Amino acid sequence: MHDDTRRRLMLASAAALALPPLVARAQGTKLRLGLMLPYTGTYAQLGVAIENGLKLAVAQAGGKLGGREVEFVRVDDESDPAKATDNVNRLVTRDKVDVLIGSVHSGVVMAMVKVARETDTLLIIPNAGAGAATGALCAPNIFRTSFSNWQPAYPLGKVMIERGHRTAVFISWKYAAGEEAAAGFKEGFTAAGGKIVKELYLPFPNVEFQALLTQIASLKPDAVSCFFSGAGAVKFVKDYAAAGLKDKIPLYGVGFLTEGVLHAQGDDAEGLLTTLHYADSLDNPRNKAFRAAYTKASNNMEPDVFAVQGYDTGLLLAQALDKVKGDLSNRAAVVAALENAVVDSPRGPWKMSRAHNPIQDIYLRRAEKGVNKVVGVAWKALEDPARGCKL
Amino acid sequence: MRWLALPFDTFAIQLLNAVQYGLLLFLVASGLTLVFGIMGVINLAHGSFYMIGAYLAWSLAEHFGNLGIAIVVGVALSLLIGAALEWLFIRRLYDRDHLYQVLLTYGLILIVEELRSIVWGDDVHAVPVPDWLAASIPLTDTLSYPVYRLWISGVCIALAIAMAFVIQRTRIGMTIRAGASNREMAQSLGIDIRFVQLVVFAVGIALAAFAGMIAAPVSSVFPGMGNQVIIICFVVVVIGGIGSVKGALVAALLIGLVDTFGKVLELEVAGIPVLPELAGMSVYVLMAIVLLWRPEGLFGKRAP
C-alpha cells in the first residue's frame, strides 16, 4: 500500500512537473482578456452588463478574435480604488493578460491607467468617464469606448438656450465626475450665450436636497441643469417635483439622471430632457438587432448604455485584431488598427479621437412613460477637447 | 471674513428644512441610543434595519396597496425579527467586551445586505406617498412644501413625546431604567431583566425599521441606504450623550441646523472660501467641538 501510494505520488509529481510548459504553450495561442469590473457592490449590475455586451460581440465574431481563441480572466474590483492597484497588477504580472478591460468607477480606472502606463499594457475603458484618462494622462496604449464626463454635459447648454433659457443653476455632488460634468455644461452654456447664476454642490453621496432646492427656488433661474445617477437621481427628481419646482423651473440633466431608474422616478420624471450618447429607444436597425441578440443571450435581461459600451469594446477589439491577424507583438500596428477602427455601434457608428475617446453623436432624449424617447441629435460627432493630451 | 446673508423668507424656509431633517435623524437614532444606553450593546447593524424597513414598506405597500397597512405589518414583523435576533445572538454578548458586539453586528450588516439582495434584488425603488398626504403647500411663488414631509415631522415629535412618557412616567419605563443603571440589583428585586432586554432590543430594531418605512417615500429605496444613515446616527448618539433620548433629540436638531446651513451659507475667511466648500465636514466639526467641551456628550452621564 505504502509503496503504491508513494509511486502514485511520484507519478503525479512527474506529471505536474511536465505539465506547466504544455499549459503555457496552450495559453500562448489563446488571447487573454483581463476583465477588471465590479461584480459586487453598488455597480455590480453595470459590471455584468459590460461583460455580457463584450461576450456577445465576441460570440458574434465566431468566438474568436483575430483568429485566436479568447480566454477571459475576471477580477471583481468591488469599485474600491484602494484595492485597484493590487488587482490590476495581479492581472498584468501574474495572469499576464494581453488586454486589460475596465472599469466602471473612475477612481479604479485611474489606478488602471497608472499601471497600464507603467507596464505598457493595452487598456480599454468600457465606462468610467474620468477626463484625465484620455486627457492629461492619455497614452498610445489607452483607449476608451464609452464617453468622457465632459461629453454628454457640453451639448446640454445649447439645448437649453434653444428652448429660451438664458440663466441656469447647475447642481451635482461634489466629486470628480460631477465637477467634470459641470465644466462641460458651463463651457457649452456660456458659449451658447447663457449665464450660470450659481453652481450648487452636495457632499457625495448625500441626498438631503431640501436646503439646495430652497436655494434654487429663491434664485429663480430660467432652468436647472444637473448631474446625478442611481438612487440619488431618483430622490433628486422626486424631491424636485415635490418642492413644486418641476412646473416652474424646467429641469435638464446629463442622461444618467434617467438611466435605469425611470420606473422608480415615475411621473415625476415625465418630460425631463436629458443628453447622452445612447438611448434604449434609438430607432435604427443596428440597435434593434443588438437589443434582440443581447436579450436572447443574457437570459432576457434588457441591455442598457453600459451593455452597449461593453459590446462596442468587443466590436473594437474584433476589428483591430482581425486587422493585425491576432498578432499583438507589433504594438504600433495594433495601436494604429485600434485608432483607425470605425465601430458599427448600436449608438451609431463612431471612431476614436486623437486622444482615444469616441467621437460620437450626443442624443437629446425626453422621458415619456418610462422610456427615454429620442427627440433628436443634440450634437453631431462631438469630440472631447482632451486638454493636456499630447498624442 | 465675509458672509453672504440670506433673505428672511429663505432663512425661515431653511430653518424649516433643518428642523425637519433633524427630526428624521432623531427618529433613526433614537432606537440606537436606546439599545446602546440601556443595554450597552453597540449595534452597527442599526442602519441595515433602516434599510430593511424601507424595503418592507416598498414590498408590503405593493402587496396591500396601502402604505398605512404596510407600516403596521412591517413594524410587527421587525419587532419579531428584533426579538429573534436578541434571543439568538445578542443575549450571549451582554457580559462580553464591546469588540464582540462590534464583530457580531458587523457580520449582521453583511448578512442582511446579502439577504436583501436575494429577496428583493439590487434595484432602486420608489414608494408612492399616500394620496391624502400627497399635496404641497405653496410657500413662495416658486417653492412649495410637501405635506408628507411635515407629516413625518409630526410623527417624529409624537414619537419623541411618547418615548419620553414611557421611559419617565410608566412602570415599564421604570424597570427599563432600573435595568440600565444596575442589572444585578434590578434582577434581585424580582425584575425579569432578560425579558426587558428582549423588549428593548426589539423596540430598537422596530424604531429603525419604522424610520426606514416612513422615510421611504421621500428617500427612495436602494441597496446600502442604511450605511449612509448609520454614521450620522452614531454622531447623533455621541453628541447627545449615550443612552439619553432627550440628548438624541437635541443633537439631531443641532445636526439638522449645521448640515442645512453649512450647505447654503457662504463664508469666506481671509479670502479662502470655507462654506459651502467644507459643508461635508461641518457635522463632524460640531461633534469635535462638543466632545472637547463635554466628552460625555450634551446629556450624557459623567463617568464616575
Residues of chain A contacting B261 with CB distance shorter than 8 Å:
211
How far A203 CA lies from chain B's nearest CA (Å)? 5
Question: Is residue A336 packed enough to be buried (19+ CB in 10 Å), middle (13-18) or exposed (0-12)?
Answer: middle
Question: pLDDT confidence of B94, banded at 50, 70, 90?
Answer: confident
Closest Cα of chain B to A243: distance in Å? 5
Digit-coded pLDDT (tens) for B134-183: 888 988 888 889 899 999 999 999 999 999 899 889 998 888 888 878 88
Quote the pLDDT of residue A18: 46
Question: What does the block give as the cell for B154?
Answer: 409630526
Residue B4 reports pLDDT greater than 80: no
On whether the CB atoms of residues B262 and B3 are closer than 8 A, the answer is no
| Partner-chain contact A203 B279, CB within 8 Å | yes
* Interatomic CA distance for residues B224 and A231, integer angstroms: 10
Reported as a single tens digit per residue, the pLDDT across A210-259 is 999 999 999 999 999 999 988 889 999 999 999 999 999 999 999 999 99
| A3 to chain B, closest Cα gap in Å | 48
- Whether B140 sits inside 8 A of A218 (CB atoms) is yes
Measured between beta carbons, the chain A residues lying within 8 angstroms of B142 are: 217-218, 220, 244-245, 248-249
Query: Residue A343's closest CA among A306, A318, A312?
Result: A312
- Which regions of A86-213 does DSSP assign to beta strands (E)? 99-101, 122-125, 142-144, 167-174, 195-203
DSSP, res B125: B
Stronger pLDDT, B227 or A148, i.e. the higher one: A148
DSSP bridge partners of B269: B272
State how far the Cα of B272 lies from the Cα of B269, in Å rounded to an integer.
Answer: 5
Note whether B146 contacts A242, CB cutoff 8 Å: yes
Q: What pLDDT is attached to residue B148? A: 92
- Measured in angstroms, the CA of B143 and the nearest CA of chain A are apart by 6
State the average pLDDT over residues A292-310. Answer: 94
- Residue with the bigger pLDDT between B77 and A208: it is B77
CA distance A202 to chain B (A): 7
pLDDT of residue A22: 41
Do the chains contact at A206 and B14, CB–CB below 8 Å? no
Using the predicted structure, report yes or no on whether residue B1 has a pLDDT greater than 80.
no
Task: Catalogue the E-assigned strands of A215-314.
Answer: 223-227, 251-254, 273-276
Backbone conformation region of residue B7, classed left if phi is above 0, alpha if psi is from -120 to 50, else beta: beta
| Average pLDDT value over all residues in chain B | 89
Asked whether the predicted pLDDT for residue A158 surpasses 90, the reply is yes
Name the more confident of B280 and B303.
B280
Determine the pLDDT at residue A138: 96
Taking each continuous run of H as one helix and of E as one strand, the counts in chain A are 12, 15
- pLDDT-based confidence at residue B303 (cuts at 50, 70, 90): low
What pLDDT is recorded for position B103? 94
Confidence tier at A272 by pLDDT (50, 70, 90): very high
What local confidence, expressed as pLDDT, does residue B64 receive?
93
Note which residues in 12-71 of chain B have CB less than 8 A from chain A: 13-14, 17-18, 20-21
How are beta strands A68-76 and A99-101 bridged, if at all? unpaired
On average, the pLDDT of chain A sits at 91
Q: Is the C-alpha dihedral spanning B39, B42, B47, B52 positive or negative?
A: negative
CB-closest option in A44, A212, A248 to B142:
A248
Tell me which residues of chain B, numbers 114 to 153, contact chain A at a CB-CB cutoff of 8 Å: 122-126, 128-129, 136, 138, 140-146, 148-149
Q: Chain B residues with CB inside 8 Å of A214's CB? A: 10, 13-14, 17, 143, 264
pLDDT exceeding 70 applies to what percent of chain B?
97
Q: Does the pLDDT at position B275 exceed 90?
A: no
pLDDT value, residue A6: 54
pLDDT higher than threshold 70 for residue B2: no
Contact check, Cβ <8 Å, A212/B124: no
pLDDT tens-digit readout, B200-218: 999 999 999 999 999 998 8
Question: Whole-angstrom Cα distance, residue A151 to residue A128?
Answer: 12
Rounded to a whole number of angstroms, the distance from the CA of A175 to the nearest CA of chain B is 12
Comparison of pLDDT for A135 and A10, the residue scoring more = A135
DSSP state of A386: -
Q: Between A51 and A231, where is the model more confident? A: A51
Cβ–Cβ gap A266/B225 under 8 Å: no
pLDDT of residue A12: 52
Whether B143 sits inside 8 A of A244 (CB atoms) is yes
Decide if A203 and B280 are in contact by the 8 Å CB cutoff. Answer: yes
| In contact, A174 and A144? CB cutoff 8 Å | no
Domains and CATH numbers, chain A: 27-147+282-356 (3.40.50.2300), 150-276 (3.40.50.2300)
DSSP state of A325: T
- DSSP output for B19-64: HHHHHHHHHHHHHHHHHHHHH----TTHHHHHHHHHHHHHHHHHHH
Question: Which among B124, B146, B261 has CB closest to A231?
Answer: B124
Contact B197, B190 (CB under 8 A): no
Q: In what order do the strands lie in the sheet with B266-269?
A: B2-4, B266-269, B272-275
Nearest to B284 by CA among B256, B264, B255: B255
| Cα–Cα nearest to B259, from B1, B87, B14, B54 | B14
Q: Are A338 and A363 in contact (CB under 8 A)?
A: no
What whole-number distance in Å separates Cα of residue B75 and Cα of residue B208? 10
Chain B hits for A208, CB-CB cut-off 8 Å, are 21, 259-260
- Mind giving me the DSSP string for A53-90? HHHHHHHHTTTEETTEEEEEEEEE-TT-HHHHHHHHHI
Task: Give all domains of chain B, ordered by start, each with its CATH number.
Answer: 2-136+143-293 (1.10.3470)
